[in-house]
Amino acid sequence: MLEVGMTIAVRRGGSPLRVVTTDSYARPSGVDGVSGVRRRCFLIIDPQALVRHGLALTLASLHDGAQTWQAGTPAEALGLLSQATNVPDVVLMDADGLGTERMTAIADFLAKVQGVPAIIMSSAFTPAETRTLLTAGAVACLLKSDPSAVLAEAVALALTREGYVQMPYGMLTTAVAVPAAEDRADFASVSRLTNRQRDIFRLLLSGCSNKEIARQLGVLEGTVKVHVRAMMQKLGARNRTQIAILAARTGFRAECA
């Protein structure tokens, strides 16, 4: 029987594949630091130097010869990446030190490092936050209370790049319960959109610019801008990142043309 304290791994768009427990950890073959596998590189983002150092030691014990870059903030991390000649295999990022706008800050960072698996760590996640982060591109949401085996599994699965995501199992059971107040408010906001605004909403989520939206819908770009302003006002969003976060909370999906 599954326990709430477990972490479950699922494949994006699929059904649960495995459960990670405190006493059962099997690293997938070909993704560790064994002989013949290239040296792994990890980027650690955490405001506390001692925590960064501890994570670096843990990663070195899991992957022989692992290289770790360390940054205190997402901005500092982006600075390191701009000067690097290669990209990290996995990013490990603390969410607790980013303040009340942490979801926006993380979503912005993930948008700038697309293609690099990111593991987000926190002392607690709400179901809405978990959905937001996984939709934004994170491959795992780990609780800081998780045992080290869960971190090892998350890193190993991230390195496979096979589309796995991990989250606390309790998030799945909570997510099917009565929606939280913030989720109900988000659903109400989306329900107020007109059909045309919903079309634009979907195209925005698929990454289209205003010009591309105008071309696909057969309208003027100025018309699209008017709709976008009205839509953002209804949703209480200031930018496209906040629109993506709201979409994740409501389960609203992009439909590319």
- Verify that 122 and 218 share a domain, yes or no: no
Q: Answer whether residue 2 is part of any domain.
A: no
- Give the pLDDT confidence score for residue 91 in this predicted structure: 94
Range of the domain at 158: 7-175
d(CA 58, CA 138): 21
CATH code assigned at 205: 1.10.10.10
**Cα–Cα–Cα angle for 252, 118, 8, rounded to 5 degrees:** 70
The pLDDT tens digits of the residues spanning 2-43 come to: 333 445 555 454 433 344 433 333 333 334 444 455 688 999
Q: What values do phi and psi take at 228, rounded to 5?
A: -65, -45
For residue 125, the model assigns a pLDDT of 84
Higher pLDDT: 98 or 207? It is 98
Q: For 102, which DSSP code?
A: H
Residue at token pair 């998780």:
146
> Is residue 191 domain-shared with residue 218, that is, in the same domain?
yes
pTM for this entry: 0.60
Contacts of 128 (CB under 8 A, 6+ apart): 180, 182, 183, 248, 249
Residues 166/9, Cβ–Cβ less than 8 Å: yes
pLDDT of residue 75: 92
CA 46 to each of CA 50, 72, 98, 99, 186: distance values in angstroms, whole numbers, following the listed order: 9, 5, 9, 13, 30
How many angstroms separate the CA atoms of 68 and 42, rounded?
5
* HEC string for 141-167: EEECCCCHHHHHHHHHHHHHCCCEEEE
One domain, residues 125 and 198: no
Residues 171 and 185 reside in one and the same domain? no
Q: Give the pairing of strands 118-122 and 90-94.
A: parallel
Q: Are residues 37 and 140 in the same domain?
A: yes
How many domains is the chain partitioned into structurally?
A: 2
pLDDT at 121 over 60: yes
Q: Is residue 256 part of a domain?
A: no
pLDDT in tens, 50-107: 999 999 999 988 888 888 999 999 999 999 998 888 889 999 999 998 887 888 888 8
Query: Do 167 and 196 belong together in one domain?
Result: no
Asked if 65 and 41 sit in the same domain, the reply is yes
Q: Residue 122 is inside which H or E element, if any?
A: strand 118-122
